[in-house]
Amino acid sequence: MYLMYVDESGDCGLPSEGSPSALFCLSGIVVHELRWQDTMRQLLSFRHWLKGRYKVFLEDELHAADMISKPSKIASSLQRLAKHERLAIIRNFADEIAKLADVSILNVVVDKRTGKVPTKDEVFRWAWYSLFQRFENTIRYQNFPGPKNADERGIIFPDATDGQKLKRFLESMRSRNRLKIHHESGSFVYQNVPVRALIEDPVVRDSKHSYLIQAADCAAFLLKQSIEPSSYMKRHGGNAYFKRLDPVLCKHASRTDAQGIVKL
């Protein structure tokens, strides 16, 4: 069984509606059930290191975007740190994620400036459909690292979001899932390929209580900053931190992007 923990960066609103972001990003950290305990021990060890180095409590949430741009929303142990120290925590967190054994990160980016997506609901739907499909495909083709059972399945743990919409998306994909199938000749056909590897409804979690969703949040934030950096992140080199995650990026997810990012 593969477990995927998902968080987002940016928003679904369109530029024409006043959205401050041109992008909506999703990052899903995938870990096999047989590696879950080892992964959690490593993340807990990192949090103990943070407590010793920066006096950040184990229960304090690491929310990357707020740590840089909205410090009033973060835990008091993080608020008292200088901004460059909070950036250092994000950098160290990325380095720790990159060292997790047999973990993969799926990444999806919707560029709202292209005009292809007519509404914010479609931005949300496109991103999640694409993430679900890549999770399904990577399981079925056995492209995730680490242990493999004979007939693997996957389950999704998103951060607090519209769980009912995600449930409907998966229900739809299990019955009718029209995909564009490319042939080696260059031609393509549309086929109905229902998802089979993804089980259960998405299990919505509060990121405050999940180190793995906080790791997905860090990945999604750095993904967005690598394409659409804030002035602070660009000035201090934070726009390059996504490259630190390279060892654990799922590069099978996209044939057209060297980092495996699915760009819509």
For the chain, how far is it from start to end, CA to CA, in angstroms?
Answer: 28
Q: Is-contact 156 202, C-beta < 8 A?
A: yes
Which of 89-98, 150-159, 178-187, 219-228 shows the lowest per-residue confidence on average (mean pLDDT)? 178-187
* Gap between the Cα atoms of 232 and 70, Å rounded: 13
pLDDT at residue 181 is higher than 80: no
**What is the rounded CA–CA span in Å between residue 31 and residue 209?**
17
The answer to the question of residue 247 being in a domain is: yes
37 domain-assigned: yes
Give domain status of residue 57, yes or no.
yes
Q: Does residue 158 sit within a domain?
A: no
Q: Domain containing 77: what range?
A: 2-152+206-263
Average pLDDT of span 149-163: 93
| 54/156 Cα distance (integer angstroms) | 32
106 CB-near residues (< 8 Å, 6+ apart): 4, 26, 27, 28, 30, 131, 134, 135, 138, 250, 253, 260, 262
Q: Tally the domains of the chain.
A: 1
- Across residues 193-206, what is the average pLDDT? 95
Domain presence at residue 182: no
Summary mean pLDDT of the chain: 95
- Does residue 212 lie within any of the structural domains? yes
For residue 233, is it within any domain? yes
For 9-57, how does the pLDDT look when each residue is reduced to its tens digit (9 = 90+)?
A: 999 999 888 888 999 999 999 999 999 999 999 999 999 999 999 999 9
Q: Is 53 helix (H, G, I), strand (E, B) or coil?
A: helix
* 44, part of any domain: yes
What is the model's pTM?
0.95
Q: What is the pLDDT of residues 73-113, one digit of tens each?
A: 999 999 999 999 999 999 999 999 999 999 999 999 999 98
**What is the average per-residue pLDDT within 229-233?**
97
The H-or-E segment that residue 189 falls in is: strand 188-192
